[in-house]
């Protein structure tokens, strides 16, 4: 079930909110767990078995790790951690990478056809990182093992973050599990955040998806202008799709009294690729930094070791997004950009005007998305070559028509990627008074109405990051 489906907005969410706020304060977290399990079962009841089994497995693993640590049994502790992490990665690998890896081996070895892989459980990448976070935090002594099975289940299954994050580390949520910060202010701000996220998804991402689909249709006449329009459309579509989901997740969490970490901070305004990755999918970057990069040694063991550690992180980041060589190349592409910034271009970039660095970074990042949305490396290569005029006309009738149709939407999207809309919104809400309150309510009511109209008229488009 998606947050931008009518069944969620008009059925599941109202029932969930009514049941949650009518439940006594002490039982609210448990009620929220029940609704989270219903959310999982809505999509596929089988997922309850898989996710529930994972929760129970990590519950006992965490207790065993803590017990071994207290007893000074370092070998047992290490064995439990390695076994649990290996089980997590094997299951994740089976669902996401088995078919890809088998195909690579079958290309060089006489192997039989791969077995059919069942549909992956909802949010498998995200909840796997959640349970790994719990186990590794317990192992490192940052938190105590959770004695309450239902509290651990709530952390893993909390439906706002389950499908596409943000990836909240266990350490960030431990204190909140049994004590949600319920307040009228949180409900109001969380509701506004949810509507903003819904608008990003329904009004902007879905509209831009239509332009992108038309520009990349095999029947469309290719042109340089068409390629760049497709790249811009996808770049903005991906941003509003994913940041929109994050806004909805953070907003819903706030309504229920839970704080989820921010996931985006105007990434397309970054002055470097390094800065971009501090602003884009922040929770994923933090996860890899805390649980992969730093444990490998980070940048503390010399240049060669730093490069190797970064290479591991970016290879894993690429593979995390999908089982395809295009994602591997995308990860290595960003690795190369980061290494250039860190070791080669540091001094020249420091002397370059901020605006120039910003434009240069934006172009490099959106060109990288070409590997993201193309199914094969040759297709990505042809599109990149076409962007610079190789064997492709400058314009076509189709690209000119799309420019006229999409130009205004792309301009709105460009403004939406800046802090300007948020500043205007804060300026209205901070003024206070009855008229300001009525104006705010009217704006968000109209925005919600537009979203509902969009959901009723448009063909349903799932969240892009749900596939990762």
Residues 187-246 pLDDT 10s: 999 999 999 999 999 999 999 999 999 888 888 888 899 999 999 999 999 999 999 999
Q: Given a cut of 60, is residue 275 above it in pLDDT?
A: yes
Q: What's the mean pLDDT in 95-104? A: 83
Query: pLDDT value at position 464?
Result: 58
Q: Is the pLDDT of residue 467 over 60?
A: no
Q: How far apart are CA 248 and CA 8, in angstroms?
A: 12
Q: What is the pLDDT of residue 230?
A: 94
76 vs 461, residue with greater confidence: 76
pLDDT surpassing 70 at residue 5 = yes
Beta-carbon contacts of residue 160 (< 8 Å; ≥ 6 apart): 248, 249, 250, 252, 253, 256, 258, 260
Q: Is the pLDDT score of 427 beyond 80?
A: no
Q: At residue 429, does pLDDT exceed 90?
A: no
Nearest to 332 by CA among 375, 295, 377: 377
Check pLDDT > 60 for residue 465.
no
If you write DSSP's letter for every residue of 45-105 in order, what string do you get? HHHHHHHHHHHHHHHHHHHHHHHHHHTT-HHHHHHHHHHHHHHHHHHHHHHHHHHHHHHHH
5-13 contact pairs (CB < 8 A, 24+): 5/455, 5/460, 6/452, 6/455, 6/456, 9/198, 9/452, 9/455, 12/38, 12/39, 12/42
Q: Mean pLDDT, to the nearest integer, of 99-118? A: 78
Q: Which H/E stretch holds residue 162?
A: helix 159-162
Tell me the per-residue pLDDT of 29-40, one tens digit each, with 9 for 90 and over. 999 999 999 999
- Lowest-confidence segment of 94-98, 138-142, 286-290 by average pLDDT: 94-98
Domain residue limits, the chain: 6-179, 185-467
DSSP 299: T
What's the whole-number mean pLDDT along residues 458-466? 55
Average pLDDT over residues 452-468: 65
* Catalytic one of 58, 259, 281, 321: 321
Q: Tokens in use for 129?
A: 């990182």
For the chain, percent of residues with pLDDT exceeding 90: 55
Summarize the confidence of residues 360-389 as an average pLDDT: 93
CA dist., res. 202 & res. 450, Å (int): 9
Continuous H helices in 257-324:
273-279, 282-288, 303-321
Interval 44-86: pLDDT, tens = 888 899 999 999 999 999 999 999 988 888 899 999 999 999 9
User: Is the pLDDT reported for residue 116 higher than 90?
Assistant: no
Mean per-residue pLDDT over the chain, rounded: 89
- Answer yes or no: is pLDDT of 119 > 90: no
> pTM for the whole thing?
0.91
pLDDT at 219: 81
321 is catalytic: yes
Percent of the chain scoring above 70 in pLDDT:
96
Q: Does the pLDDT at position 13 exceed 60? A: yes
Give the pLDDT confidence score for residue 43 in this predicted structure.
80
């Amino acid at each position: 079930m998606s947050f931008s489906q009518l069944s969620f907005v008009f059925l599941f969410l109202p029932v969930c909110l009514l049941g949650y706020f009518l439940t006594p304060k002490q039982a609210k977290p448990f009620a929220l767990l029940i609704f989270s399990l219903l959310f999982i079962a809505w999509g596929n009841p089988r997922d309850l078995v898989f996710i529930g089994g994972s929760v129970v497995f990590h519950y006992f693993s965490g207790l065993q790790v803590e017990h071994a640590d207290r007893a000074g049994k370092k070998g047992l502790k290490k064995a439990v951690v390695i076994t649990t992490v290996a089980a997590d990665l094997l299951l994740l690998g089976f669902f996401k990478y088995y078919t890809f890896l088998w195909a690579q081996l079958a290309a060089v070895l006489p192997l039989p056809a791969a077995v059919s892989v069942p549909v992956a459980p909802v949010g498998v990448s995200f909840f796997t990182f959640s349970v790994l976070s719990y186990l590794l935090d317990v192992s490192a002594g940052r938190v105590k093992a959770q004695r309450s099975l239902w509290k651990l289940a709530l952390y893993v299954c909390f439906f706002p973050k389950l499908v596409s994050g943000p990836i909240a580390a266990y350490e960030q949520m431990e204190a909140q599990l049994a004590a949600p910060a319920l307040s009228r202010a949180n409900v109001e701000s969380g509701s506004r955040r949810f509507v903003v996220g819904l608008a990003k998804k329904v009004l902007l991402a879905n509209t831009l998806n239509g332009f992108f689909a038309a520009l990349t249709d095999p029947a469309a006449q290719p042109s340089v202008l068409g390629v760049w329009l497709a790249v811009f459309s996808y770049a903005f579509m991906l941003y509003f799709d994913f940041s929109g989901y994050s806004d909805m997740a953070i907003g819903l969490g706030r309504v229920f009294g839970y704080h989820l970490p921010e996931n985006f901070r105007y990434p397309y305004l970054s002055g470097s690729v390094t800065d971009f990755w501090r602003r884009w999918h922040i929770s994923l970057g933090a996860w890899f930094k805390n649980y992969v990069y730093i444990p490998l040694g980070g940048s503390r063991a010399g240049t060669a070791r730093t490069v190797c550690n970064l290479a591991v992180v970016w290879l894993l980041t690429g593979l995390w997004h999908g089982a395809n060589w295009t994602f591997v190349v995308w990860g290595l592409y960003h690795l190369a950009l980061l290494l250039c910034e860190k070791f080669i271009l540091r001094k020249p970039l420091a002397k370059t005007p901020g605006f120039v660095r910003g434009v240069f970074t934006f172009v490099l990042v959106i060109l990288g998305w070409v590997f993201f949305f193309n199914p094969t490396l040759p297709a990505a290569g042809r599109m990149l070559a076409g962007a610079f005029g190789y064997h492709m006309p400058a314009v076509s009738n189709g690209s000119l028509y799309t420019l006229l149709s999409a130009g205004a939407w792309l301009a709105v999207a460009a403004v939406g990627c800046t802090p300007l809309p948020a500043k205007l919104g804060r300026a209205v809400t901070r003024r206070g008074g009855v008229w300001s309150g009525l104006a705010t309510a009217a704006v968000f009511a109209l925005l919600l109405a537009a979203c509902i109209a969009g959901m009723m008229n448009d063909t349903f488009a799932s969240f892009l990051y749900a596939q990762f």
